[in-house]
């Protein structure tokens, strides 16, 4: 809605329903639009041309080209792999505790008497539900269904503060979130119906799996789906550059942004206090954005300094950037399957596959594979860009599912 003075009020959401309608406010001068989504600290700046609104989405220190087009009818999202009843297995809602936090999940058990091998699903970064729902896809639901049909039980659970789980993800580091997965493993071990228990972790979950395996004797195997093999600082630097290039940003802009962004990340990864880091980050961003080189085609608003300070002094971000997963990986003596898609723009296969192979080189039961043509969600993709995720109907590559199922069966005697 636009009033006579050009003030905008409204909502922004996702056709898939994976993002609820969030209030926005902003301004419109007849061609240029600028609005904020306060609840997620996001800003959009763009230009209206006929029925198209084209511009840039700024959030958490990143910016992504976005184009909105007016449609005659609602967008229909097709997800053909999403399982539909009746199901040849049992799925029940369960709860388990991690201290004062109560976590809600779904326990799936195959038909038959068992005992069954079982997995605990662990989601990627950000507040995720038990299905790891993202842009209308539910990869953990699809995997749980495939596992159950192959005789593998599973527990997937809502992250802190999501769905039926209590607590809040705010301020929690990866190490702290790992205790939730540890509690899930303990819950499965106490059940008594499972012959072995493993963790299937995606992205950040691939960091959490080895952490939990290092402190729990109940973890018998790990499946790391796009789990990093390098420190977070290296991962995020490569991820930032790859995503900007995938979205078509000119090389001059990429070089300029990486110059000052690397400084921001290095400060965040350092042992500086939060107050010191905030001061240094603000200085870096304000200086860079206030005086961009003349060949930069898309300069950024210096007012975004607040967003960078907030994003890069967050406890989760500072831990992630400074954490090196290699010692935890090197200590593993249980079977490990580590997979990364060749088109993954968030966890680069080029850099992380060699790091994983090196860290796991003394483990005779470790397998590290690069899967050709798959993106960060293990979808069959064209470029691997984040903007493709929602448009791809496939939720998880069937061949990748078969690979994981067969590996679990081979390493659990099922």
**Which residues does 339 contact at the CB level (< 8 Å), separation at least 6?**
223, 224, 225, 226, 368, 369, 370, 371, 378, 400, 403, 404
Query: Residue 358's Cα: distance from chain center in Å?
Result: 24
pLDDT at 187 over 70: yes
∠ CA(17), CA(308), CA(290), 5° rounding?
125
- What pLDDT score does 4 carry? 84
- What pLDDT score does 296 carry? 92
Report pLDDT digits (tens) over 386-401. Answer: 889 999 999 999 999 9
Beta strands in 81-134 (DSSP E): 89-98, 101-110, 116-122
Q: Which residue has the higher pLDDT, 216 or 40?
A: 216
Q: Which residue has the higher pLDDT, 71 or 81?
A: 81
- What pLDDT score does 60 carry? 65
Report pLDDT digits (tens) over 164-175. Answer: 999 998 889 999
Distance, CA of 296 to CA of 18 (rounded, Å): 35
Least confident window among 11-15, 119-123, 131-135, 354-358: 11-15
Burial class (CB in 10 A: 0-12, 13-18, 19+), 236: buried
Q: How confident is the model at residue 15 (pLDDT cuts 50, 70, 90)?
A: low
The number of beta carbons lying within 10 Å of the beta carbon of residue 322 is 15
- What pLDDT score does 23 carry? 87
- What pLDDT score does 42 carry? 85
Q: Which two tokens stand for residue 358?
A: 């090196």
Distance, CA of 321 to CA of 239 (rounded, Å): 12
Where exactly are the structural domains of the chain?
A: 7-69, 89-230+324-412, 232-320
Residues of the chain with pLDDT > 90: what percent?
Answer: 79
∠ CA(203), CA(64), CA(28), 5° rounding?
140
Report pLDDT digits (tens) over 263-282. Answer: 999 999 999 999 999 999 99
Which CATH architecture does the domain made up of 89-230+324-412 adopt?
Answer: 3-Layer(aba) Sandwich (3.40)
- What pLDDT score does 169 carry? 86
Q: What mean pLDDT is reported for the chain?
A: 94
Report pLDDT digits (tens) over 291-345. Answer: 999 999 988 888 889 999 999 999 999 999 999 999 999 999 999 999 999 999 9
Distance, CA of 305 to CA of 231 (rounded, Å): 25
Q: How confident is the model at residue 246 (pLDDT cuts 50, 70, 90)?
A: confident
Q: How confident is the model at residue 241 (pLDDT cuts 50, 70, 90)?
A: very high
The predicted model gives 86-109 an average pLDDT of 97
Nearest Cα to 39, choosing from 23, 60, 18? 23
pLDDT at 19 over 70: no
∠ CA(378), CA(380), CA(384), 5° rounding?
75
Query: Residue 289's Cα: distance from chain center in Å?
Result: 28
Query: Residue 321's Cα: distance from chain center in Å?
Result: 15
Coil, helix or strand for 380?
A: strand
Distance, CA of 181 to CA of 168 (rounded, Å): 15
Least confident window among 61-65, 90-94, 196-200, 201-205: 61-65
- What pLDDT score does 191 carry? 95
């Amino acid at each position: 809605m636009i009033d006579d003075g050009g003030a905008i009020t409204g909502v922004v959401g996702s056709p898939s329903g994976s993002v609820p309608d969030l209030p926005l406010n902003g301004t419109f001068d007849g061609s240029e639009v600028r609005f904020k989504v306060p609840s997620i600290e996001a800003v959009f700046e763009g230009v209206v041309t006929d029925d198209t609104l084209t511009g840039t989405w700024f959030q958490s220190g990143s910016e992504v080209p976005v184009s909105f087009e007016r449609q005659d009818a609602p967008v229909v999202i097709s997800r053909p792999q999403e399982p539909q009843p009746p199901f040849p297995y049992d799925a029940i809602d369960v709860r388990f505790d991690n201290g004062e936090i109560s976590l809600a999940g779904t326990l799936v058990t195959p038909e038959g008497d068992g005992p069954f091998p079982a997995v605990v699903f662990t989601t990627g970064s950000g507040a995720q539900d038990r299905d790891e729902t993202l842009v209308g896809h539910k990869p953990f639901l699809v995997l749980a269904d495939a596992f159950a049909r192959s005789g593998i039980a599973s527990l997937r659970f809502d992250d802190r503060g999501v769905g039926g789980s209590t607590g809040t993800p705010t301020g929690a580091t990866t190490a702290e979130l790992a205790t939730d997965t540890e509690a899930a493993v303990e819950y499965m071990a106490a059940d008594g119906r499972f012959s072995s228990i493993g963790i299937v972790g995606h992205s950040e979950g691939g960091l959490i799996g080895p952490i939990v395996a290092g402190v729990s004797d109940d973890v018998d195997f790990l499946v790391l789906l796009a789990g990093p093999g390098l420190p977070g600082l290296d991962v995020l630097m490569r991820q930032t550059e790859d995503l900007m290039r995938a979205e078509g940003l000119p090389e001059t802009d990429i070089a300029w942004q990486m110059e000052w962004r690397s400084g921001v990340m290095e400060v965040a990864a350092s042992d500086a206090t939060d107050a010191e880091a905030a001061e240094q980050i603000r200085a870096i961003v304000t200086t860079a954005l206030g005086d961009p080189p003349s060949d930069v085609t898309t300069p950024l608003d210096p007012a975004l300094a607040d967003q960078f300070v907030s994003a890069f002094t967050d406890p989760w971000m500072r831990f992630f950037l400074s954490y090196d997963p290699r010692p935890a990986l090197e200590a593993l003596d249980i079977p490990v399957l580590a997979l990364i898609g060749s088109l993954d723009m968030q966890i680069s296969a080029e850099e992380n596959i060699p790091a994983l192979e090196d860290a796991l080189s003394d483990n005779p039961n470790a397998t590290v594979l690069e899967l050709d043509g798959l993106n960060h969600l293990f979808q069959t993709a064209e470029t691997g860009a984040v903007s493709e995720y929602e448009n791809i109907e496939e939720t998880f590559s069937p061949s990748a599912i078969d690979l994981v199922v067969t590996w679990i069966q081979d390493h659990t005697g099922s």
